[in-house]
Amino acid sequence: MNSFFLPHIQSLKPYSSAREESSVSSGTAAGKLTLLDANENSLGSASDLRLGTSTLELNRYPDPLQVELKKVIGDLYGIESEQLFLGNGSDEAIDLLIRGTCAPGKDKILISSPTYGIYKVLADLSGVPVVDVPLRADYSLDVPAIRSAEAKLVFICSPNNPTGNEFSREDIRSILSDQSKLVILDEAYADFAGGEDSLPLLQEFKNLVILRTFSKSWGMAGLRLGACLARPEIIKTLNSIKLPYNISAPNQALALQAIDGNRAFQSETIKVVSSEREKLVEEWSRLDGISEILPSVTNFLLVRFADQIRASEVYTKLIELGFVVRDRSNLPLCENCLRISIGTPEENARLTEALETKALEAFSI
């Protein structure tokens, strides 16, 4: 099986941290052993983090392989720790996958615009060419064009940002069946969709990498934690090229606390978002100034305004009224569209009122 990673990456001798060499984990060792191996500050820390009744000592480096957190996240997804890479947001995994597999100026990544902007930005940053096979007019993937394109990595964002739709399982399988390409299935919004679980595909397709994030349904965007699920060989290589301490100690501790102890938060979020989304679609469909709301399985809606209204002007008007949304009107298939995140029921009600009585009214429909 093609490793996909570049030869110099495959032969890289990774950095080995002091604690790895002594096979002592900082968490278990603190207090029992005298740690003088990592040039840490043994006197303590200028800052401590209180977590419930305990205090997290920040003077020690965190576990580079996040063993405890991976057990909990592995259980959550029903996979082994060897199939799991954790990044400082899923953006970190995207960056490492591009840099690890694509030779600058030579190997290409493939995207289907409109889609999440970071794929192209990170490819550009690494000098990696981007092939764009745009979505079709019905927002589906152009599978034949993707299959015949020359690319090393294919990014499929499903559900897609900013269009909010999920791609068909059949189309995804068809793209995966071309084993010469590594397929990155970015499922940042999958928790909201509640569709068919894609994780079993990992058993079937060795060229599949799945990305999940704790920034959305778990509400931990500020923590920066993303998961990358793939076969152990791919995970092993990602671990060998990441920065040694990519997930900070507070990040690991707070994520453990949330994922182990507060799963109800995620399920409640999904419930509220889905009922609010339905309500907003119904209410906004009745507004004359809105011509289309794309069917969404995510926590946002892509809203198209009527021809006589400019989305960019509604955007500015909404800012004046205290609402910040995303102007996506310059993207293909998103002409005259704003992307609007689902807020709290109270925020949504205020936005609907502002749209109805001020933002759209200002354009005298």
Q: Candidates 14-22, 62-70, 129-137, 213-221 — which segment interacts with ligand PMP by CB under 6 A?
A: 213-221
Q: Is 166 in the site for ligand PMP (CB under 6 A)?
A: no
DSSP state letters, 64-97? TT-HHHHHHHHHHHT--GGGEEEESSHHHHHHHH
Give the number of other CB atoms < 10 A from CB of residue 341: 15
Our CB check for ligand PMP shows the closer of 214 and 290 to be 214
Residue closer to ligand PMP, measured from CB, 27 or 134: 134
Write down the H helix ranges in the chain.
7-10, 18-21, 26-29, 67-77, 90-101, 118-125, 143-148, 169-176, 190-193, 201-204, 232-241, 249-261, 263-285, 311-320, 345-354
- Which C-beta is closer to ligand PMP: that of 94 or that of 351? 94
Among 116, 167, 305, 315, binds ligand PMP (CB under 6 A): 116
Least distance to ligand PMP, CB of residue 125, Å: 15
Min CB(60)–ligand PMP separation in Å: 25
CA distance 300 to 157: 15
Q: Is 348 in the site for ligand PMP (CB under 6 A)?
A: no
Determine, following the binding rule CB under 6 A, whether residue 107 of this chain makes contact with ligand PMP: no
Q: Is 287 in the site for ligand PMP (CB under 6 A)?
A: no
CA atoms of 55 and 31, how far apart (whole Å):
13
- Total residue count of the chain as it appears in this document: 365
Q: Is 91 in the site for ligand PMP (CB under 6 A)?
A: yes
Q: Rounded distance, CA 286 to CA 66, Å?
A: 49
Which CB atom, from 87 or from 100, has the smaller least distance to ligand PMP? Answer: 87
Rounded distance between C-alpha atoms, residue 188 and residue 212, angstroms: 5
Do the beta carbons of residue 252 and residue 62 sit within 8 Å? yes
Query: According to CB under 6 A, which one of 58, 109, 188, 255 is a site residue for ligand PMP?
Result: 188
Among 112, 213, 217, 239, binds ligand PMP (CB under 6 A): 213
Cα 152 from Cα 209, distance rounded (Å):
13
Determine which residue in the list 215, 251, 336, 348 makes contact with ligand PMP, applying CB under 6 A.
215
**CA-CA distance, 365 to 351, in Å (whole number)?**
18
Both structure tokens of 177: 């069946």
Q: How far is the CB of 156 from ligand PMP (least distance, A)?
A: 10
Within 225-254, the residues that bind ligand PMP by CB under 6 A are 226
To ligand PMP, the closest distance from the beta carbon of 40 in angstroms equals 28
Residue 269 sits in the site that holds ligand PMP (CB under 6 A): no
Instruction: Report the residue number, 290 or 294, with the smaller CB distance to ligand PMP.
Output: 294
The DSSP call for residue 30 is: B
Could you tell me if 94 and 182 are in contact, meaning their C-beta atoms sit under 8 angstroms apart?
no
161 binding ligand PMP? (CB under 6 A):
yes
Q: Between residues 187 and 354, which has the closer beta carbon with respect to ligand PMP?
A: 187
Which amino acid would we find at residue 77?
Y
Residues 3-42 that bind ligand PMP (CB under 6 A): none
Which CA distances in Å does 50 have to 12, 53, 119, 154?
39, 7, 37, 43
Considering the complex, state which of residue 86 and residue 359 has its C-beta at the smaller distance from ligand PMP: 86
Site membership for ligand PMP, residue 114 (CB under 6 A): no
Q: Which of 130, 157, 234, 351 binds ligand PMP (CB under 6 A)?
A: 157
Structure tokens at 252: 């690991």
Least Å from the CB of residue 119 to ligand PMP: 9
- What Å distances lie between residue 333 and 49, 138, 337, 346, CA to CA? 46, 9, 9, 30
CA atoms within 13 A on the CB side of 221: 5
Interface region with ligand PMP, contact rule CB under 6 A, candidates 22-30, 83-91, 140-148, 336-344: 83-91
Interatomic CA distance for residues 99 and 325, integer angstroms: 32
Contacts with ligand PMP by CB under 6 A lie at: 89-91, 116, 157, 161, 186, 188, 213, 215, 221, 226
